[in-house]
A and B are shown apart, each in its own frame.
Chain A
């Protein structure tokens, strides 16, 4: 795993052979939800915040955990496990929120634990296998293998697309 943890800058300087292939490097933050490992683009992540109580928003889907106070900003939070159909996470002080920016909105993602920072060359990213009726799986942007185990890359843009804003506003009005 260590091979993947170095930043692109370091690699350019050291020019380590293991990752010397030409191409673009990307960094991801990987985290655990249940028994599975996911990762998101590090550029979207603003900070990692320890678990804190949230104020539930009324009449939201189960995976919406409500809002938390991030130094004066109201940030909505989502239970990724619940979002993936694993039921509501029973939170403990050891859970963390990944505070991320998606389409200029700041959101919090509840995960079990942050695992690592992965530096990945573009050609290490395998495409999600073509699957029947998988048009909805757009938010899986790829799969990488880290130490024999599989990490699924998520596209937050697609997971939290805001196209429904207009509808939501209509309901509220």
Chain B
């Protein structure tokens, strides 16, 4: 069942995943390293760079790409020292990093194409890294660093030959401490593990056992004296206790067999533990009944775990579908046109099917207590099929972004000729698929951003040549999938954002206070501020009042985010992250009092339970919570929404930190996180007026409705809930009718507080 290594097909598939992942990581790495050329990377950026290199190394190790592992290890060592602040970021270091990044990319490529770049490839950079590290760590530490180990790979490791030792007996005194249990280790398992090495005799000592009354339930009182007779060396015996070394008193001593004396109080605790002489045995194999039950149950679960993978593969699957459709073309039926309404109806009905199915599964499980294997099986099958149907249906609405991208070359030609600029447009990932409704909403923002890029980003040919660049600028339009999102980037190699000019302008417009200290990122963020246009003069092309703020608003409406990165003199990169479909949302179900709400997962940064000293009330009713030195506004949803029974003390609840559209953070107080789930978005406005703080609703597995919270709106709601509680119906604009009308019907029930008095006449 488990070979010593993966079979060729699986390995090839993992390799493909690995290289796909590498491509993403390298792209990110390159971007971040390039940014470091200009400005000091913060710890978050350094961590991200480290993680990228680390992930590549770990994967490379698994596939035995020795050279790649070795190089990544060097690279990682340097980054690690940087993270620890031992290496200062200097021009020299930035240069080494960029070159190391290039070499890493080449090594990945070489590994993929099974090319040999030669043993010494990249050695120059390695030497420089070593030199740098030597300056800090001292030379020896580099030379004696653990790189020898790092070369170990799955392939080179191979099955270990059992050294035929002479049979020996070990006396093991093993007294677990409470920590051992706290770390979820289990003495029984360890003893079982020992049995794998040889003959074990166990003696349990109850010496430390106190009187029942003074027993701490989580403390450890038992200890064991074990006698192991084995032909394995002492290291193997010690390895069994590897994880618990520090959590127990352990004494292992080798004795001559005849020396062993058994205690009179032998307590054969292992009598009921099945013999597992063979370590390779999988769990459950020792018990045929369990195996039967376990096997089929595994498969549907694995399929469920696969769902996100499949979703990402949609685009990959589509060309395949087309390919198979091609031969059919001769018969004239390769595709049919379907009215979008029909597809929408199908999407809706399938959404209901998913809910109905999960309700049914829940109900049958509740009724038969989950014991009926056949029903469980049927439910799991059903759930898998229903999800598959849902994916298929969603896929119908998916279209490649090509339909929008293809409009851009003309736009570039038009705009650039009007401005007398030379611009090349490159596109990548045109086949990336996204929901049709999203595509329609993409055209405007993209048009605007490309116009902007040509107008404000790309310089005139003369300026470019003066700056030592090619006369023709380039704009790259790039699309790819990442999780449940599509990422679209508009990258130009123009002049970049002039941060000084931007800041000056923001100050002159009163958007920023004169003495404000802004980070580079915050300055870049300013281009999304309302009514902001950076053009020197209002031009014919952009700068007509429609700014990036409108673009951001449109992207936010799609549930997406936009960010900008710019390096002055080198170019600008806008990144849009938009959900693949407007119909589904990856959400986090949270409880606030008696109610359950959905928070969009994409906006959640983290959650934590604050300590009292992390909380601070501000004058004027606001509250902040500090998180690693950062002050975040605390929003009490239960207060804004008047939910009874909610946790009001943040130290008892959870603060969910969410990112808002302008990149800021707010903390939302909730009772607890219930779990992550993909939800089908339903509109409230189909049948009702907009509700402040709520962007929509969804139907949970139990058929109940949960509201989807709108963080942006929550943020803008006044702190005091009283101002939002309509005191009488007529004051509430959103109320369907006026209050005084109502009182005529039941005048005897009329109260003075309800305002106008109306004579009772009905």
Contact = CB atoms under 8 A, between A and B. Distances in A.
Nearest to B743: A85
B407 interface: no
Given A136-B741, A161-B736, A58 B641 contact: yes
A164 interface: yes
B714 to A, nearest CB: 10
Interface string B215-254: 0000000000000000000000000000000000000000
B682 interface: yes
Interface in B342-383: 348-349, 351-352, 355
Contact of A84 (B682, B735, B746): B746
B736 A162 contact: yes
Contact of B705 (A34, A54, A71, A168): A54
Interface string A43-79: 0000000000111111111111011110111111010
A87 interface: yes
Interface residues of B, number: 56
A164 B731 CA distance: 12
A73 B686 contact: yes
A64 B732 CA distance: 12
Contacts of A29: none
A140 B745 contact: yes
B761 to A, nearest CB: 5
A46 B713 CA distance: 34
B737 interface: yes
A13 interface: no
B707 A60 contact: no
A128 to B, nearest CB: 8
A170 B733 CA distance: 10
B266 interface: no
Contacts of B735: 60-61, 64, 164
B684 A67 contact: yes
Interface string B626-645: 00000000000000111100
A61 B732 contact: yes
A74 B705 contact: yes
Interface string B702-731: 011111000001000000000011100100
Nearest to B728: A61
A143 B66 CA distance: 90
B472 interface: no
A133 B689 contact: no
Interface string A147-173: 000001000001111101101111110
Interface stretch (B175-183, B398-406, B526-534, B690-698): B690-698
B744 interface: yes
Contacts of A66: 705
Interface in B323-354: 348-349, 351-352
Contact of B699 (A62, A72, A84): A72
B742 interface: yes
B687 A137 contact: no
B691 A57 contact: yes
Chain A interface bracket (under 10, 10 to 19, 20 to 34, 35 or more): 35 or more
A107 interface: yes
B430 interface: no
B746 A61 contact: no
Given A85-B754, A133-B759, A159-B736, A69 B705 contact: yes
B595 interface: yes
Interface string B742-754: 1111100111001
Given A131-B761, A168-B734, A69 B699 contact: yes
Interface string B123-145: 00000000000000000000000
A121 interface: no
A34 B746 contact: yes
A36 B748 CA distance: 12
Contacts of B725: 59
25 contacts: A36-B746, A55-B697, A57-B691, A57-B694, A58-B640, A58-B643, A58-B694, A58-B707, A59-B691, A66-B705, A67-B688, A67-B707, A71-B352, A72-B355, A73-B686, A74-B683, A84-B749, A86-B749, A107-B688, A128-B762, A136-B738, A152-B762, A159-B736, A159-B737, A168-B734
Given A59-B693, A137-B744, A158-B737, 15 more contacts: A55-B707, A60-B691, A61-B726, A61-B732, A67-B688, A69-B699, A72-B355, A74-B697, A74-B705, A85-B750, A107-B688, A133-B758, A136-B741, A139-B737, A160-B736
Interface of A: 34, 36, 53-64, 66-69, 71-76, 78, 83-87, 105-107, 128-129, 131-134, 136-140, 152, 158-162, 164-165, 167-172
Closest CB pairs A-B (n = 7): A58-B641, A172-B690, A168-B734, A167-B733, A168-B689, A72-B352, A55-B705
